[in-house]
Amino acid sequence: MRIYPLEKSLNLTIDDIAADKSISHRCAIFSLLSDKPSRIRNYLRAGDTLNTLKIVQLLGAKVEDNGSEIAIMPPQKIKEPNEILECGNSGTAMRLFMGLLAAQEGFFVLSGDRYLNSRPMARIAKPLNDMGAKIDGVNNANNAPLCIRGSKFERFSFEGKIASAQVKSALLLAALYSNGCKFSEPELSRDHTERMLAGMGADIKRDDLEITLEPMKAPLAPLDIDVPNDPSSAFFFAVAALIIPGSHIILKNILLNKTRIEAYKILEKMGAEIKFHKTSSKYEDIGDIEVRYSPNLKGVEVSENISWLIDEAPALAIAFACAKGQSKLINAKELRVKESDRIAVTINALKQCGVDASELEDGFIINGSEAKFATIDSHGDHRIAMSFAVLGLKCGMQIEKSEFIATSFPNFAEILKKMGARVEDRAC
């Protein structure tokens, strides 16, 4: 993708931000927990979540899609598929299916693209295997391809050491189909699984950082849900509005769950003018986010609630690069095992753009400076590609492997063009 500097301000309302990826994955996967059809509107139609939908079909569900609503009819019993379950680029899909399938009758093989197959899976395989699961795979089950021979577990207690919603969700799904569990996390990670399971009638309770889940005695109630738009996807445009003079944008129908909007709060600390307008609240708070060009962004230090902003770190780095003074992000080692090593890839790309930036083992330091055109490599990471597209609105950018944007936000370039940006979006 080639992006040219934008010569005008952004003044628009964006109502077609991609639907929330975390919630969409869960809608497809959790529809298997019921015996009645789930109805999902605004499901994310992007590479990652379409793969999840396909896997749900291979596990026996029937999917009807009338364009505005997807109906998922679950099978009576999860079917043993006779093909590999391809998760593409998605860690969420692979990890949640690991938990779900570890407790089913049958044999299952999960695999992904070369990026996903190099990401760590022992964080789920090991605790489940310690409890009696039969998961094997490359590097002692730390990497996919993974094969799972399903079995049931005793009731278990697990103390999570990393704040990971994927680990939490995987273990809860395994426990739901077995004999329940007590699960604790070191800090609150995104809580969509708990909210949705509770909404479907599961016996799940949270006491601060500890969750108690009872086994599923009967199928859960189906989902009937409008997926809100994704705050992580909207964030690229929030940063764009902040750094392009004269801009004012409204991002519509965005999920406002506090575990998902921390990066916006950091922008506010930097001096950004952002307003949240809550419009509805069923299982989750939803609303519009209004962002104005903020010429006096200043550097900031970020060390807390990291799991609440982990997906936005690359785009936050772009805001840091455009601020006055030094910014620092720490306690974010998890960034090294996302779709790419986001610490190394972000910092290298910023350096290529002439920005004074350096890596820390668990984060980065960025000194605000004038960025210049560069050709950067996304390393197969959608969020790196989109973050540098945003910087490209200021100084121009050539982004290699930009096709990965379609894993989460297929209409990203279309929105850039609607904003008046000149984008050549042939895959490179």
Q: How far is CA 408 from CA 43, 192, 220, 403, 412, in A?
A: 12, 18, 28, 11, 9
Q: Which residue is nearest to ligand S3P (CB)?
A: 22
Alpha-carbon span 204 to 195, nearest angstrom: 9
Handedness of CA 90, 94, 95, 96 (dihedral sign): positive
259 binds ligand S3P (CB under 6 A): no
Q: How far is CA 360 from CA 144, 328, 353, 373, in A?
A: 28, 9, 19, 25
Q: Is 421 helix (H, G, I), strand (E, B) or coil?
A: coil
Exposure string (b/e) for 217-242, b if CB count within 10 Å is 16 or more? eeebebbebbbbbbbbbbbbbbbbbb
**Residue from 19, 22, 261, 340 binding ligand S3P (CB under 6 A):** 22
Alpha-carbon span 241 to 315, nearest angstrom: 12
Give Cα 13 distance to the centre of its chain: 23
52 binds ligand S3P (CB under 6 A): no
250 binds ligand S3P (CB under 6 A): no
Nearer to ligand S3P (CB atom), residue 174 or residue 419: 174
408 binds ligand S3P (CB under 6 A): no
Per annotation, catalytic residue among 48, 191, 285, 311: 311
Nearer to ligand S3P (CB atom), residue 22 or residue 104: 22
376 binds ligand S3P (CB under 6 A): no
**Residue from 27, 44, 148, 310 binding ligand S3P (CB under 6 A):** 310
Residue 311 annotated as catalytic: yes
**Residue from 31, 42, 189, 402 binding ligand S3P (CB under 6 A):** 189
Nearer to ligand S3P (CB atom), residue 293 or residue 412: 412
Alpha-carbon span 307 to 334, nearest angstrom: 9
Closest C-alpha among 312, 22, 368 to residue 194: 22
CB-based contact 162:126 (threshold 8 Å): no
Handedness of CA 343, 346, 349, 354 (dihedral sign): negative
* Smallest distance, ligand S3P to C-beta of residue 393, A: 24
Nearer to ligand S3P (CB atom), residue 133 or residue 171: 171
CB-based contact 316:391 (threshold 8 Å): no
Alpha-carbon span 309 to 315, nearest angstrom: 10
24 binds ligand S3P (CB under 6 A): no
* Smallest distance, ligand S3P to C-beta of residue 217, A: 26
Nearer to ligand S3P (CB atom), residue 307 or residue 340: 307
346 binds ligand S3P (CB under 6 A): no
The strand pairing partners of 288, in sequence order, are 277
Nearer to ligand S3P (CB atom), residue 222 or residue 231: 231
Alpha-carbon span 28 to 58, nearest angstrom: 12
Site string for ligand S3P, 55-94 (x = CB under 6 A): -------------------------------------x--
Site string for ligand S3P, 270-309 (x = CB under 6 A): -------------------------------------x--
Site string for ligand S3P, 125-164 (x = CB under 6 A): ---------------------------------------x
CB-based contact 274:290 (threshold 8 Å): yes
29 binds ligand S3P (CB under 6 A): no
- Interface with ligand S3P by CB under 6 A: which residues? 22, 92, 164-166, 169, 189-190, 307, 310-311, 334
Residues with a known catalytic role: 311
